[in-house]
A and B are shown apart, each in its own frame.
Chain A
Amino acid sequence: AQSVTQLDSQVPVFEEAPVELRCNYSSSVSVYLFWYVQYPNQGLQLLLKYLSGSTLVKGINGFEAEFNKSQTSFHLRKPSVHISDTAEYFCAVTRSGNTGKLIFGQGTTLQVKP
């Protein structure tokens, strides 16, 4: 079975600073990995995904993530954050080919301060 651990429940950062949100997963089989963003009282929006190929994945809103198989990690990064990036971020994993049964981490609240 797969599991996901988001290592930080809250990450405060100043505007225009870089940020990294950490995600580790556990799986004995090949996986697909995702990062989603959730604004208050809204559904989840896909930021980026790793299915195969290049381990550096670029997503929307300037975010990127790197798949590290040896460390079973999929950390999310942005070189310069904006106030509007304040939201909840979720890392998710599913077994390759196991469509849609995503296992989510507990979420990381990104708080961007002026």
Chain B
Amino acid sequence: SQTIHQWPATLVQPVGSPLSLECTVEGTSNPNLYWYRQAAGRGLQLLFYSVGIGQISSEVPQNLSASRPQDRQFILSSKKLLLSDSGFYLCAWSVRGYGELFFGEGSRLTVL
């Protein structure tokens, strides 16, 4: 069966520090991969999605970037965090041709 792993689960970082959140999917090949952010009391905002290795689409201009170095690995990064980057980050994957997303457990980032 397919599983998705996301880490770290919790992260507290000072303003201006770098960020790296990692997500891996097991049990499937060629998945579409996604990073969503959920700010406190708000819905989910799609940040990045990828249909293949090295193929990244950004949905909103921001302080973050994403990379897909391997088929089932998706990384969210920042060189310098801002207070506004705080939130709950969710990685997800889908099978191409279907709309359903499968989510990881999330990473809670607090920028102080």
Contact = CB atoms under 8 A, between A and B. Distances in A.
Interface of A: 32, 34, 36, 41-46, 49, 51, 90, 94, 96-107
B43 A106 contact: yes
A13 B23 CA distance: 37
Interface residues of B, number: 28
Given A100-B92, A106-B43, A41 B97 contact: no
A-B residue pairs, 10 tightest by C-beta: A100-B94, A43-B103, A32-B99, A104-B44, A106-B43, A44-B103, A104-B43, A100-B32, A43-B105, A94-B99
Contacts, number: 68
B11 interface: no
If over half of B's interface residues share one DSSP class (helix, strand or loop), that class is named, otherwise mixed; here it is: strand
B99 A43 contact: no
Contact of A99 (B45, B98, B105, B108): B98
Contacts of B49: 100-101
Interface in B66-89: 88
Contact of A90 (B44, B100, B102): B44
